């Protein structure tokens, strides 16, 4: 589940991934506001509250202020994409003078 407080073309999150795009398919549902995806061929799809969506490999997200979504990604595919996106997010946060959240153990890690 994600909440996006600001509008953002989040393509930068996938710089360094194959074709600089997310390669994991997602199924999701927009709870509030609008959420978008730009596909490999440059098509932009915008989904609004109440819309369900599926996006295949080769896309980048576009967030709108106030958007709330829930989406599902297979664990192995999410684990493959996460390192690139997390590193790019940390770099972005540093460039914006933002404080990164404190590290918290992952529920899958078995740490307390």
- Stated as kind and residue range, the H or E segment containing 23 is none
Evaluate the CA torsion angle 67, 92, 17, 78 in order and state its sign: negative
44 strand-pairing partners: 38
* Per-block mean pLDDT, blocks of 10 residues, the chain (112 long): 93 95 96 96 95 96 97 94 93 86 54 46
CB atoms within 10 A of CB 4: 20
Report if pTM > 0.75: yes
- Rounded Cα distance, 77 and 17, in Å: 13
Three-state secondary structure call for residue 38: strand
């Amino acid at each position: 589940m994600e909440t996006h407080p600001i509008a953002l073309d989040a393509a930068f999150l996938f710089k360094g991934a194959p074709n600089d795009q997310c390669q994991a398919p997602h199924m999701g549902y927009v709870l509030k506001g609008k959420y978008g995806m730009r596909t490999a061929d440059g098509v932009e799809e915008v989904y609004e509250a109440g819309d369900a969506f599926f996006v295949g490999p080769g896309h980048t997200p576009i967030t709108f202020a106030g958007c709330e979504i829930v989406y599902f990604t297979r664990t192995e595919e999410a684990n493959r994409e996460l390192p690139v996106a997390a590193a790019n997010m940390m770099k972005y946060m540093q460039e914006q003078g933002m404080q990164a959240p404190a590290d918290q153990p992952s529920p899958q890690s078995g740490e307390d």
